[in-house]
Amino acid sequence: MNLLDPDIWHGTFYSYGWVKGNGGTTTVRSPASREELGEVGVADPSDVTRACARAAAAQRAWAATSYTKRAAVLRRAGALWEQHAAEVSGWIVREAGSIPLKAGVETATAAQECYEAAALASHPLGEIIPSAQPRLSLARRLPAGVVGVIAPFNFPLVLAIRSVAPALALGNAVVLKPDLRTAVSGGLTIARIFEEAGLPEGLLHVLPGGVEAGEALVADPHVRVVSFTGSTAAGRKVGEAAARHLKRAHLELGGNSALVVLDDADFDLAVSAGAWGSFLHQGQVCMTTGRHLVHASIAERYVEALAAKADRLTVGDPARDKVTLGPIIDEGQRDKIHSLVTASVDAGARLAAGGRYDGLFYRPTVLADVTPETPAYAQEVFGPVAPVLSFTDLDQAAALAGSSEYGLSLGILSRDVMKAMALAERIPSGIVHINDQTIGDEAVAPFGGVGSSGTGSRFGGATANVEAFTETQWLTVQGGITRYPF
């Protein structure tokens, strides 16, 4: 039997086994071909309430389980991702519209996230604090309890497992709400992997659902930490709701990342990096290069070369053909992309490449002659659009790159690494890549943005994960009871 045999999960979701929800079912379709891929259960708020209560009950025993046993489950999960990589990748290609290369990155990252989480289970979780009293004083980290995870469609597996795996390793239970558009590759695959890895029942609940299910998850009193990845607009609502309930929300939100190309950069490699940064997965990545800031001495040549490269890229169904770009996730997102492109052209930008679509297949697009007010430059597009703006000196480059409300990722291309590092210090950004484009993520590295891109690095690496998914408790121990004056 395959890991994702539909006979296992058809019409259901995972919550103490495979169960039918009160929200009915929804059809899973390929955005490229509209082919029906299966049917999954949909959770409503009552399903979320029940799952959270069950997760809280199961979590106490899990927290008391030895770190060696928790680590073993995570190691088995990592091995299962590797074992079933081809099958899971196939689902990511069909359901999320990803090219096979990107799907392979997701499965490899999922395995690495689980291996890193396995090591996290034995990570030091406290410190000895000096005390003015004759006692032992400790600050120790304890599991938060139940962690709610809300994950998006674009990198459905990575953006869910990066919270699920460390939260479980640190002794928490998890309730995951994947996007309905990628409920299998971003949700049910994770349930199946941990089911096969031997995770005790009740610790992981995977509930595909809509806005109401997400609201119920944030509000549920059993959930102490919310890990949300998605748009800035939705993230603000999650943060506001979590604050009302006095719980922590870790928010990884949108971006409009700048790639700064200095005049001494290797030109051909810079164009290649710029194309990858803007067009990977149809630009549907939070770290996508949304702004190309290019020195005036090479800007026109850069536009021509980037446009020529865009025109050569192939767009189509990645499940059927060897293509560079797949489909936009749905009509609503496609229409948003196109409206920003057309508004930019109407405002005076020059369409150097692309700007058209066939169904959900949007051509990679290059816009020249843009200004800081050009809609596709000023706003997050979340599509395969590369606006190019020139600068004349480093002061102007720093001002332009730092003028966005977002601060997720930054790329600077230059042969002078020290000059690039000095420039980076002037631009607020959670992530900086010198001599690389803006998209990059590793399980061992802290990940997060500033400003409207989120609440900082709360994903990746031991320090960030321990901070994200545990609570600090002050504990003192002394040999006898203190004598007090009354």
Of 7, 330, 4, nearest to 179 (Cα)? 330
For CA atoms 35, 361, 106, 154, give the dihedral sign: negative
CA 307, 99, 330: angle at the middle one, nearest 5?
85
- Tokens 């060696």 -> residue: 68
Q: Which two tokens stand for residue 234?
A: 């939705």
Number of C-beta neighbours around residue 270 at 10 A? 24
Number of C-beta neighbours around residue 451 at 10 A? 17
For residues 346 and 375, the answer to whether their CB atoms sit within 8 Å is no
Phi (first) and psi of residue 450, to 5 degrees: -120, 170
Of 423, 409, 308, 301, nearest to 366 (Cα)? 308
- Tokens 């990059």 -> residue: 440
Cα distance between residue 171 and residue 144, in whole Å: 8
Of 440, 380, 438, nearest to 409 (Cα)? 438
For CA atoms 458, 459, 461, 467, give the dihedral sign: positive
Helix-helix angle 189-197:158-169, to 10 degrees = 30
Q: Count the residues in the chain.
A: 486
Cα distance between residue 193 and residue 199, in whole Å: 9
For residues 166 and 147, the answer to whether their CB atoms sit within 8 Å is no
Of 143, 234, 217, 209, nearest to 175 (Cα)? 217
Q: Which two tokens stand for residue 65?
A: 């389980």
Phi (first) and psi of residue 132, to 5 degrees: -75, -10
- Known catalytic residues? 252, 286
Helix-helix angle 100-120:67-83, to 10 degrees = 170
CA 153, 230, 351: angle at the middle one, nearest 5?
80
Q: Which two tokens stand for residue 332?
A: 């609503």
Which amino acid is located at 292 in the chain?
H
Give the pairing of strands 173-177 and 204-206: parallel
DSSP string for 327-348: --S-HHHHHHHHHHHHHHHHTT
Q: Which two tokens stand for residue 214?
A: 């997400």
